[in-house]
């Protein structure tokens, strides 16, 4: 039986909540904003005040890190309540212009950055790469990510992946201009309709390729394809899993020293949400000359950088220290030369903080693929 | 005896349970018209005395020879009505029940439709009733002894009760000493009696009791047979110490090259032991055991020039040549009292149990506050120069309980109270400490529990309502990340020590017992009792009872109560000396059996064996059912390729017409 509109209470299983407080207790942004996600789970039981709740500015402070969902003892996903409330605003056309523009851009150009679709492959201009053809067999189909393809600072991530896979003799291909936003941030911004459309279209597009598995570069795409595309007919992995495999099988050798102390920041969408903790560490541990150290708050207890959940388009109004600032200060205290990340959003937020804190002399933020680029010979 | 059927049909209202949704008058009227039905009646509670008397009177006055009761599930009252028939002088297997409650009134709302369905169910039962045959219930003798598996407080209590009643008990305990978890506890809530003081005398009684044969460091290898007659085989693991010679002096452990180097299981890893050890000073038996996985001599074939234990043991009790031994015996009943495991705190990595030395479990804390524990009861943390007494101490409740994220939905029932107890003990030892308990609910349901909770709060222990989400370190101190849900305030509280109130889980080796005794598990993975209310110590396997935490989390008072219940159930069996076995068993038609032996594989009770028979001058193999072992589950009947197996009371010619009436078969 299809019900037309599931009630808020049913959709988010609000009656399952025992008000234990683990969600809010774990929520990383509570140290700097008014967000109390448990209160939203509780207050939403009164469906008459949903509008009112949707108008509270803190619903935009959620980073979709999912700590609340991971910790909930009753299997609820408290963040989805906030996203549902955002949806009410999206539906009524009452969102900030930045959010509106990002969503419109996804609708028109397949990316949230207001960039033309035709420019999607510019980053690979000088590279000799294969674009997948429907039906043609390919071992690894690479999904690059809107943020990486268009941000000139981040394009090196994808370019390095090409270098590495070529060096390791891996069979791989890209999707080309048809590659379309994974929808992760679209969902987190509350545009459910557009998200559903993306899931449908992307499933059809991706299934048209004869690929054994899809390799994602951003953990946000990874989560979206792995967990939100039930009809996708291929395995989805994060590139750290593939590269980890290549190193283990000795198909890839790291020969150049990177004599640095490196600390790895677990992306929420990779670690907490998908339990990929070991592969990034395995890769970094294999870099000659590098010394790997750990944050106290690492792995399951890692601190969110506030990069996800639509935060690229909505600023949190708070005078308190940003979590990314806390994070780079912790990295600095460990005397790390490189703050390694495995997510484009983490790279952007943490890089900003390194600059804001004036740590550029002592340390840099680098995506694992950037570091790998330094560790291999061409 | 199988004269022309005269059937009486009795429709039960079950108060309003049935009558609310089924028109009982209409069903009665309908039933009275069915073939072979002599009369039909309805009554408010058929199971009551007047209800049963209706049946008895009708049998006497109307000459009924078959009875159909339309009421609840036969699981509930079939035994009741069979007894009624016996009392009225007719064979109890001339009873057929139509389940119009669980199968009808409870699951339907529309009265008209439910009434129609009830009619069909009754008609079906009537059509079968007329084809029923009388059966004879066999009795077998009961071996007047029992096996108790597990020597925790539950097993100890059950063993003592049975032994005191004059029956032989074999107690099998896996570890070198009996006592279980209770032996590890310091004081016990809510009365704060010293655990060892109340437990040790019982342990000694077990050892000394003339009716109890104690097999420690042992495990049950095989159990075959059936209620009243179980054949048991037990492996006594080699201790490498001659139990007769060992005086328990302990010189060996002092001198062992591994002295104080192996984490002590008894001290929950907080203290250390040697390669040869007595788990704790009051252990029963007070005999030493060599740990074969650690002992240098046993693992490497060499321990210095010669093993120190051998050198110092004046009793010459060390025997590296010792082998496992097997003991076999027969018992009439089995009690499973294998207890629980504490939840492994590593499975909640957000609490940093694997990361920080000052995050402990409740059980570790028990050893730390115990005067006989590794620190003599002092709660100092850190080593040597760095040692310090914690000032801010946090307890976190529900770790691994009520938590779907680790697959444990249930409440562990003891953590609320043991947390209160430990908090009290800590406050007693460090009066200036700031002790707080983070909780989501306080469940103080037992006798004296609420009073104890009250007392502890008034001693100055803060209860903060919020279940912490994470622990990390800041400036060398632990930070508890939590929301005070009563004021909706997110907190990051700095503390020196965190105690995780870990819950109770089924033992990791639960499978062993399940395989041995064909037990089932409930949703929480503990062993399943036969009925949650009315048969709480019985299991689906006749003659096998369960007690203590093996059946589900519980405290000591409840474990002891359940143990006494299990003992009395076992005693009922042993004392009566005889037990009835299932009459509705399977029977093989030797003339058509093809001897494929498929049924032997199917039978979950090992009740079928192949035997040689002479068939028209030829020696052939056919299946034969051991009627004492057969539980009447019917699996073989369904599986037989040649249709050669039929189950009494459920023969094809009895149930096919019944199904046909339901309109399923034509
Ligand atoms: C930290 C903590 C504090 C507690 N404090 C209190 C308290 O203050 N008051 C209170 O009332 N309750 C308390 N409890 C609960 C108490 O521990 C239990 O109620 C009690 O121990 C249950 O006894 P049991 O015999 O069922 O199980 P256990 O004590 O677990 O005993 C089971 C025994 O069976 C043995 N065994 C297991 N499997 C086999 C096998 N296959 N073959 C042979 N032997 C086997 C085990 O080795 C063990 O000796 C506390 C629990 C914890 C975790
Ligand atoms: S963690 Fe889950 S159960 Fe607890 S308050 Fe939050 S939503 Fe409710
Ligand atoms: S997803 Fe993260 S930021 Fe959002 S409410 Fe949950 S814990 Fe807080």
- CB contact, 8 Å: A16 with chain B? no
DSSP A263-316: EE---TTTTTTT---HHHHHHHHTSTT-EEE--SS-GGGPPP-S--TTTTTS--
Matching residue, tokens 């028979």: B613
CB-ligand 3 contact for A365 (6 Å cutoff): no
Residue-range domain boundaries for chain B: 7-135, 145-237+324-340+508-578, 251-312, 342-505, 586-648
The CATH number for B7-135, chosen from 3.40.50, 1.10.10, 1.20.58, 1.20.120, is: 3.40.50
**Shortest Cα distance from A281 to chain B (angstroms)?**
17
Does ligand 2 lie within 6 Å of residue A66's CB atom? no
How far is Cα A330 from Cα A350, in angstroms, rounded to an integer? 12
Inter-residue contact B298 to B240 (CB < 8 Å): yes
**B372 min Cα distance to partner chain A (Å):** 35
Q: How far is the CA of B184 from the centre of ligand 1 (A)?
A: 9
Q: Which of A246, A272, A295 is the last residue of a domain?
A: A246
- On chain A, the residues whose CB falls within 8 A of the CB of B471 are 301
A70: its two tokens: 């991971």
CA–CA separation, A218 and A313 (whole Å): 18
pLDDT surpassing 60 at residue B103 = yes
pLDDT of A1 over the 60 cut: no
Q: Is the CB of A63 under 6 A from ligand 3?
A: yes
Largest CA distance in chain A: 63
SS3 call for B498: strand
The answer on A54 and A40 residing in a single domain is yes
Protein residue with its CA nearest to atom 31 in ligand 1: B152
Assess whether A238 and A292 both reside in one domain. no
CATH number for position A40: 1.10.1060.10
Which atom of ligand 2 is found nearest the CA of A71?
1
Question: pLDDT-based confidence at A70, cuts 50/70/90?
Answer: very high
The pLDDT assigned to A106 comes to 97
Q: A21 and B398 in contact by Cβ < 8 A?
A: no
Distances (CA, A) of A133 to A143, A185, A237, B407: 14, 28, 20, 44
Give the chain B residue whose CA is nearest to the CA of A70: B405
Domain membership of residue A199 as a residue range: 99-246
- Partners of B609 in the beta sheet? B624
**Which of these three, A246, A263, A292, is where a domain ends?**
A246
Which tens digits make up the pLDDT trace of B413-463?
Answer: 999 999 999 999 999 999 999 999 999 999 999 999 999 999 999 999 999
B648: Cα separation from own chain's centroid: 31
The CATH fold assigned to B586-648 is: Alpha-Beta Plaits (3.30.70)
* pLDDT for the residue B22: 97
Burial class (CB in 10 A: 0-12, 13-18, 19+), B300: exposed
Q: Mean pLDDT across chain B, nearest whole number?
A: 96
Q: Do A73 and B398 touch (CB under 8 A)?
A: yes
**Do both A242 and A256 map to the same domain?**
no
Cα dihedral A142, A147, A149, A154 sign: negative
d(CA B261, CA B252): 14
Sign (positive or negative) of CA dihedral A12, A14, A16, A22: positive
Question: What's the pLDDT at B606?
Answer: 85
Q: 3-state DSSP call for residue B149?
A: strand
Question: Does the beta-carbon distance from A30 to B490 stay under 8 Å?
Answer: yes
B75-89: pLDDT as tens digits? 889 999 999 999 999
Residue A105 shares a structural domain with residue A234 = yes
Helices and strands in chain B, H and E counts: 17, 34
| Nearest chain A CA: its distance from B346 CA (Å) | 12
| Ligand 3 atom with least separation from CA of A26 | 7
Amino acid A4: pLDDT: 47
Query: How many whole angstroms separate alpha carbon B413 and alpha carbon B460?
Result: 24
What confidence score (pLDDT) does residue B665 get? 63
A209 and A112 in one domain? Answer: yes
Q: Tell whether ligand 3 has an atom less than 6 A from the beta carbon of residue A33.
A: no
From the number of C-beta atoms within 10 Å of its C-beta (0-12, 13-18, 19+), residue B598 rates as middle
Which of A91, A126, A146 is where one domain is finished?
Answer: A91
Predicted local distance difference test score (pLDDT) of residue B581: 86
d(CA A137, CA B508): 46
Does B342-505 match B145-237+324-340+508-578 at the fold level?
Answer: yes
pLDDT score for A2:
41
Task: Look up the CATH number of domain B342-505.
Answer: 3.50.50.60
B618-646: average pLDDT:
93
Structure tokens that stand for B403 in this block? 């938590």
A238 close to ligand 2 (CB < 6 Angstrom):
no
* Gap from CA of B392 to ligand 1 centroid (Å): 30
CA pair distance B465, B416, nearest whole angstrom:
13
Among B55, B205, B219, residue whose Cα is nearest residue B149: B219
Q: Please tell me if residue A73 touches chain B, with a CB cutoff of 8 Å.
A: yes
Percent of chain B having pLDDT more than 70? 99
CATH of the domain at A360: 3.40.50
CATH T-level assignment (fold) for domain B145-237+324-340+508-578: FAD/NAD(P)-binding domain (3.50.50)
What is the nearest CA distance from B191 to chain A, expressed in angstroms?
29
Token duo for residue B480: 């508890």
The arithmetic mean of pLDDT across residues A4-28, rounded, is 92
Statement to judge: residues A63 and A41 lie in one domain = yes
Sheet holding B66-71: strands in order across?
A: B37-43, B7-12, B66-71, B95-99
pLDDT at position B666: 55
Ligand nearest to the CA of A22: 2
Indicate whether A21 and A34 sit together in one domain.
Answer: yes
Q: pLDDT (tens digit, 9 = 90+) per residue, B193-208?
A: 999 999 999 999 999 9
The pLDDT assigned to A3 comes to 46
Residues of chain A contacting B403 with CB distance shorter than 8 Å: 73
Here the ipTM equals 0.94
Tell me how far CA of residue B509 lies from CA of B16, B54, B153, B215, B592, in angstroms.
46, 52, 19, 19, 44
Alpha-helix residue ranges (DSSP H) falling in A144-191: 146-150, 155-167, 184-188
pLDDT digits (tens, 9 = 90+) for B277-335: 999 999 999 999 999 999 999 999 999 999 999 999 999 999 999 999 999 999 999 99
User: Has residue B1 got a pLDDT over 70?
Assistant: no
Q: Which of B355, B404, B469 sits opposite A26 (nearest CB)?
A: B469
Cα dihedral B67/B71/B77/B82 (nearest 10): 0
Separation of alpha carbons B235 and B327, rounded Å: 7
| Number of separate domains in chain A | 3
pLDDT in the model for residue B460: 97
**With an 8 Å Cβ cutoff, are B469 and A23 in contact?**
yes
Q: What pLDDT, in 10s, does the model give residues B502-535?
A: 999 999 999 999 999 989 999 999 999 999 999 9
State whether A239 and A259 are in the same domain: no
**What whole-number distance in Å separates Cα of residue B362 and Cα of residue B424?**
13
Report pLDDT digits (tens) over A325-365. Answer: 999 999 999 999 999 999 999 999 999 999 999 999 999 99
With contact defined as beta carbons under 8 Å apart, do B628 and B581 qualify?
yes
| Separation of alpha carbons B154 and B561, rounded Å | 8
From chain B, which residues contact A within 8 Å (Cβ)?
349-350, 352, 355, 398, 402-405, 440-441, 465-473, 481-485, 488, 490, 492
Mean pLDDT of B466-482: 97
Give me the residue from A38, A74, A75 closest to B485, CB to CB. A38
Give CA A222 to chain center in angstroms. 8
Give residue B2's pLDDT band: very low, low, confident or very high (50, 70, 90): low
Tell which wins on pLDDT, A210 or A1: A210
pLDDT at B112 over 60: yes
Element (H, E) at B417: helix B415-429
* Pair A108, A242 in one domain: yes
């Amino acid at each position: 039986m299809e019900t037309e509109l599931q009630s808020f209470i049913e959709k988010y299983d609000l009656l399952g909540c025992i008000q234990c407080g683990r969600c809010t207790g774990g929520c990383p942004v509570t140290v700097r904003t008014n967000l109390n996600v448990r209160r939203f789970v509780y207050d939403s039981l009164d469906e008459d005040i949903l509008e009112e709740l949707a108008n509270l500015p803190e619903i935009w402070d959620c980073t979709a890190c999912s700590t609340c969902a991971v910790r909930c003892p009753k299997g609820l996903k408290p963040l989805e309540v906030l996203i549902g409330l955002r949806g009410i605003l999206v539906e009524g056309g009452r969102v900030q212009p930045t959010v509106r523009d990002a969503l419109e851009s996804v609708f028109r150009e397949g990316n949230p950055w207001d960039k033309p679709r035709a420019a999607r492959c510019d980053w690979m201009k000088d590279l000799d790469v294969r674009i997948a053809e429907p039906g043609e067999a390919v071992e690894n189909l690479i999904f690059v990510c809107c943020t990486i393809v268009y941000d000139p600072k981040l394009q090196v991530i994808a370019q390095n992946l090409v270098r590495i896979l070529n060096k390791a003799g891996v069979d791989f291909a890209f999707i080309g201009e048809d590659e379309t936003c994974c929808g992760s941030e679209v969902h987190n911004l509350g545009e459910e309709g557009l998200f559903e459309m993306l899931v449908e279209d992307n499933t059809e597009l991706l299934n048209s390729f004869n690929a054994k598995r899809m390799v994602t570069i951003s953990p946000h795409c990874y989560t979206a394809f792995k967990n939100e595309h039930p009809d996708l007919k291929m395995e989805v992995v994060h590139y750290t899993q593939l590269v980890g495999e290549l190193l283990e099988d000795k198909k890839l050798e790291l020969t150049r020293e990177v004599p640095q102390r490196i600390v790895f920041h677990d992306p929420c969408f990779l670690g907490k949400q998908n339990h990929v903790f070991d592969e990034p560490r395995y890769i970094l541990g294999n870099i000659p000359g590098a010394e790997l150290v750990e944050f106290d708050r690492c792995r399951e207890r890692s601190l969110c950088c506030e990069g996800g959940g639509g935060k690229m388009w909505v600023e949190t109004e708070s005078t308190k220290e940003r979590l990314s600032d806390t994070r780079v200060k912790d990295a600095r205290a460990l005397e790390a030369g490189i703050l390694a990340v495995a997510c484009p959003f983490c790279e952007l937020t943490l890089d900003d903080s390194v600059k804001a804190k004036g740590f550029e002399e002592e340390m840099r933020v680098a995506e694992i693929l950037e570091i790998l680029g330094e560790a291999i010979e061409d | 005896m199988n004269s022309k059927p005269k059937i009486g049909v009795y429709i039960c209202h079950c108060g309003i349970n049935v009558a609310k949704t089924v028109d009982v008058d209409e069903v009665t009227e309908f039933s009275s018209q069915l073939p072979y039905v002599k009369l039909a009646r309805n009554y408010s509670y058929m199971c009551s005395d007047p209800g049963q008397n209706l049946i008895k009177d009708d049998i006497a006055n109307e000459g009924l020879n078959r009875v159909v009761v339309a009421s609840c599930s036969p699981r509930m009252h079939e035994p009741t009505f069979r007894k009624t028939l016996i009392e009225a002088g007719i064979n109890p297997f001339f009873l057929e029940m139509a389940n119009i409650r669980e199968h009808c009134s409870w699951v339907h709302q529309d009265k008209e439709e439910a009434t129609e369905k009830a009619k069909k169910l009754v008609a079906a039962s009537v059509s079968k009733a007329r084809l029923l045959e009388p059966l004879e219930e066999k009795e077998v003798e009961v071996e007047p002894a029992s096996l108790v598996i597990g020597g925790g407080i539950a097993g100890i209590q059950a063993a003592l009760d049975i032994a005191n009643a004059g029956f032989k008990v074999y107690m099998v305990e896996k570890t070198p000493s009996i006592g279980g978890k209770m032996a590890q506890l310091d004081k016990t809530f809510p009365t704060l009696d010293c655990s060892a003081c109340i437990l040790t005398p019982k342990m000694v009684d077990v050892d000394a009791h003339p009716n109890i044969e104690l097999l420690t460091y042992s495990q049950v290898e095989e159990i075959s047979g059936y209620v009243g007659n179980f054949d048991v085989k037990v492996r006594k693991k080699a201790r490498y110490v001659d139990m007769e010679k060992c005086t328990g002096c302990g010189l060996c452990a002092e001198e062992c090259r591994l002295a104080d180097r192996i984490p002590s299981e008894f001290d929950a890893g907080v203290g250390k032991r040697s390669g040869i050890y007595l788990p704790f000073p009051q252990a029963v038996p007070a005999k030493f055991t060599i740990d074969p996985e650690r002992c240098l001599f046993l693992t490497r074939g060499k321990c210095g020039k010669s093993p120190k234990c051998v050198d110092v043991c004046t009793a010459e009790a060390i025997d590296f040549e010792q082998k496992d031994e097997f003991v076999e015996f027969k018992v009439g009943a089995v009690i499973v009292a294998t207890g629980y495991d504490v939840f492994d705190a590593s499975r909640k990595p957000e609490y940093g149990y694997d990361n920080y030395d000052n995050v402990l479990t409740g059980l570790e804390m028990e050893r730390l506050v115990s005067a006989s524990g590794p620190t003599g009861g002092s709660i100092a943390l850190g080593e040597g120069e760095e040692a310090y007494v914690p000032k801010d101490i946090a307890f976190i409740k529900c770790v691994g309980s009520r938590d779907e994220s680790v697959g444990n939905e249930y409440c562990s029932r003891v953590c609320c109270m043991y947390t209160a107890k430990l908090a009290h003990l800590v406050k007693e030892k460090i009066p200036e400490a700031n002790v707080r308990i983070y909780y989501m609910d306080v469940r103080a349901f037992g006798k004296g529990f609420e009073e104890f909770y009250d007392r502890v709060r008034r001693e100055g222990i803060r209860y903060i309502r919020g279940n912490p989400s994470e622990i990390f370190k800041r400036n060398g101190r632990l930070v508890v990340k939590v929301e005070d849900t009563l004021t909706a305030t997110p907190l990051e509280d700095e503390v020196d020590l965190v105690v995780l109130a870990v819950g109770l889980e089924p033992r990791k080796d639960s499978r062993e017992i399940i395989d041995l005794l064909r037990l089932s598990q409930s949703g929480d993975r503990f062993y399943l009792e036969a009925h949650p209310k009315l048969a709480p110590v019985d299991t689906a396997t006749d003659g096998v009872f369960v007690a203590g935490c093996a059946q589900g989390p519980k405290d000591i008072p409840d474990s002891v109560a359940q143990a006494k219940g299990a003992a009395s159930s076992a005693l009922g069996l042993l004392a009566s000396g005889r037990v009835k076995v299932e009459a509705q068993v399977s029977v093989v038609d030797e003339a058509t059996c093809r001897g494929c032996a498929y049924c032997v594989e199917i039978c979950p009770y090992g009740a079928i064996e192949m035997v040689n028979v002479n068939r028209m001058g030829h020696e052939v193999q056919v299946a034969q059912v051991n009627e004492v072992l057969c539980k009447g589950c019917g699996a073989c009947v369904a599986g037989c390729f040649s249709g050669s197996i039929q189950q009494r009371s459920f023969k094809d010619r009895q149930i096919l017409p019944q199904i046909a009436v339901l309109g399923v078969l034509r």
